[in-house]
Structure formats: C-alpha cells, structure tokens
Amino acid sequence: MEAIATQIPRIDVDPFSDAMIDEPYEMHDILREAGPVVFIPKYDLHVVARHAQVQSVLTNWESFISSAGVGLANFKHEAPFRPKSLLLEADPPDHTVVRTVISRVMSPKTIQQLRDLFEAEAEAMFDRLLEKGRIEGVKELAEHFPLKVFPDAVGLESEGRDNLLLYGDMVFNALGPRNDLFERSMERFKPVSSWVMDHCERKALRPGGLGHLIYQAADTGEITHEQAPMLVRSFLSAGVDTTINGIANVLLTLARHPGEYAKLHANPALARQTFEEGLRYESIVQTIFRTTSRPVEIDGVEIDGDRKVLTLLGAANRDPRKWSEPDRFNVDRNPVGHLVFGAGIHGCVGQIIARMEGEIVLRTLARRVKRIELTAPHERHLNNSLRAMRKLPLEIFPA
Ligand code: PQP
C-alpha cells in the first residue's frame, strides 16, 4: 500500500488561485501528463484530468458519491453552506426519485414546446443588437438571452432576475475552497438570498411553467411538498450562469477565429455543432468533485475511502488521448463524448434546454451577422468552478 501510495505524482499547484482560474490550460497539461491520478498537497486532494479517468469516476457513482458534496468541502465533516441540493448532492435511491421528476419536466418533449418562443426572442434580440453594432457581449447578449428565456420558462416574474446572477456565482464559487472569491460572492449574495428562496415557492410561479410542473409532481405524491421548492431552487442555481457563460465563451472563441466564424456564417446548420465544440474548447464547468465511499483503485492507483476527488472537466475535454489537435477550435469537429455535461446518473439534466439555447443563439447569429470582432480585450470573471466572463466588447456587422 505504502509503495503504491508514494507513486502518485504530487503537484504543487492551486487550481483555485486567480492566475490558474484565469488561464488554466498549462496547469491542465501538467496535471494530465503527470499520471492518471495526481495529488495536490495544498488541498489534500486527488485529481483526475484525463478523459478516460474523468469519465470512469463520473460513471461509477457507487464508489464516487455525490451526497458528501460535489465541491471541495466534505459534507461528512463540514456543514454544507446551504441546505444540500436534493438533486446534485444526493445518491440513489434518494437521487433517483427527484431525478425522475426533473427529467420529465426537462424532457425533449417539454423543452421542444419552448422552441418557438426562444427563436422569437433571439430574433428580437439581434434586431436590437444589429441596430447598435457595437455591443457589450456579456450584458447585452450572453446574459440577456438566458436571463429572459429560462426564467420565463420556469415561470418567474421579470422583476429582480439579476439576483439569479448573484446566486449562481455564489453556488459555483462554493464548489471550490473558502477563498476570497467565495467569501466575496457570498457577501454580494446575502442581501438577495430571501428573494431567491421566496421565488421557489408555488405562489411565485406562473401556472404552466417548469416550476409549476414540479409542484404538480408534489400534488400527485411523487415527491413531497417540502421537496418541491428545493427542486425549483436547483433550476435557479443551475439554469442561468451556466448557459450565460457557455454563450459568452463561444462568442469570444468565434471572434478570435474568424475563419471558423466564416464557416458557420456560410452554413448556419453548423450552429449546434459549433456550440458543442465551443463547450469542449472552453468548458463552462471546469471542476466537479466526488467523494470516495470506500477504498478505490483508478488505473492501479489506490485511494482511501472518504477522500475528495477532483475531476477536471476542462482538462478532459482537451486530452490528446481523446481528441486530435485538442487545442484547436474547429467547427467541423463533432465533439461527441466531451464531458462538459458530466456523465452517468448525474449527467446534466438541463442539457437539452442548454443546447437549444446555444443552438438558437448561434444560428440566429450565423444568419444575421456577417462578421464578429473584438473591439477591446475581453475581461474574465473569476469563479472557482465556472469559466466565466465579465466583459466582451464586440462589434457585429449585418449580413
Ligand atoms: C453544473 C444542480 C446543478 C449545473 C443544484 C444544482 C446546482 C448546480 C448544478 C452544475 N450544475 N451544471 O443546486 O441542484
């Protein structure tokens, strides 16, 4: 055991430092090439950064559990910073019950019914944006679209939706260590926390929306009435920051790769695939953790039970063992098997709506915009687990 344990490469790096969050790719390369499992002493943490190992950890939910938290904190020893998510921070059989309800509410059939609304919203947005030409791509495009269509779909009032941005930022920071990023986002979030929880209640949700469908599952007894607001909370936690930054990242990437944009413009049917490649190239969710439920072995490396394991989704999505020319953004690549939506029983339940949002934004862009240019350097927003953006100064030229 000793001999095997000492074979694990130890890498002195802090993936949650400002510098690594801002520019993680060199660190990914080092961690990925050091071995199938590496150890980061600062956090007493095992890390997997290769595609095959990330996938195998995520699909083995019995050995790598979620109920002890999917961030750095081990809920067996530390109190969660908020009541645990019934969906994200749960294992079967509890997880299975709520996952079944959410899967139905977010099913292809339900989500397809939203398509016309989303498309009309994208057209209206580009009418306005093209009138201006020069835009701030985060506020006016990447945030604007998901913050309109997703809370509309859930059935939330229009007033106060910016509060969801503060909530999402805090939830995803909380997956990392209790560093300054986390503390500061917690401070910003505190004044709006009651707004968020109040908007998970039935009376805050429009009949017919996705939130209301959750309450209907409580009416039939499939879940309890205490569980319903907590599942709406999952929508509000996961549903905006993720798609916002997915869209922001792909806009930046397209602006930096005019040749690839030209291909998309010439063939708007590439929109869906372009969004996927954008997700692979800049993984919105960079880090997600599991906890070992028992002693486990990954490729000959032994890990004790009750240990945190970090899966580096962003590194797996650029693993040369899986992808040819992984650091190249290529809209002709169909990146099937990327892990930005995770894998296994916790694979993103919102991926159908996320993909539809991305596809619609990119197809509308492709049709209506001939060229997209950065007019000043972009600014990243630092977050412990999201690859996020603060400012994206763009000029768009009408087709
Ligand atoms: C990545 C669920 C999912 C979505 C929750 C919750 C929070 C975040 C996420 C992570 N998430 N994509 O609170 O249930």
pLDDT by residue (tens digit) across 28-85? 999 999 999 999 999 999 999 999 999 999 999 999 999 999 999 999 999 999 999 9
In a domain, 4, yes or no: no
In a domain, 12, yes or no: no
Name the residue with the closest Cα to ligand 1, atom 5: 234
- Is 171's C-beta closer than 6 angstroms to any atom of ligand 1? yes
* Cβ neighbours around 207 below 10 Å, total: 11
How far is 292 from 286, CA to CA, in rounded Å? 20
**pLDDT for the residue 1:** 42
Cis peptide before 83 (omega within 30 of 0): no
Residue 193's domain spans which residues?
Answer: 18-398
**pLDDT for the residue 371:** 98
Check which CATH number belongs to the domain holding 297 and give it. 1.10.630.10
In a domain, 304, yes or no: yes
Cis peptide before 229 (omega within 30 of 0): no
pLDDT over threshold 70, residue 309: yes
Q: How confident is the model at residue 25 (pLDDT cuts 50, 70, 90)?
A: very high
In a domain, 2, yes or no: no
Number of domains in the chain: 1
In a domain, 356, yes or no: yes
- Is 348's C-beta closer than 6 angstroms to any atom of ligand 1? yes
In a domain, 11, yes or no: no
373's enclosing H/E stretch is strand 369-374
- Is 285's C-beta closer than 6 angstroms to any atom of ligand 1? yes
pLDDT over threshold 90, residue 128: yes
pLDDT > 90: what percent of the chain? 98
In a domain, 7, yes or no: no
In a domain, 365, yes or no: yes
**pLDDT for the residue 7:** 79
Quote the ligand 1 centre to 88 CA distance (angstroms). 6
How far is 75 from 204, CA to CA, in rounded Å? 31
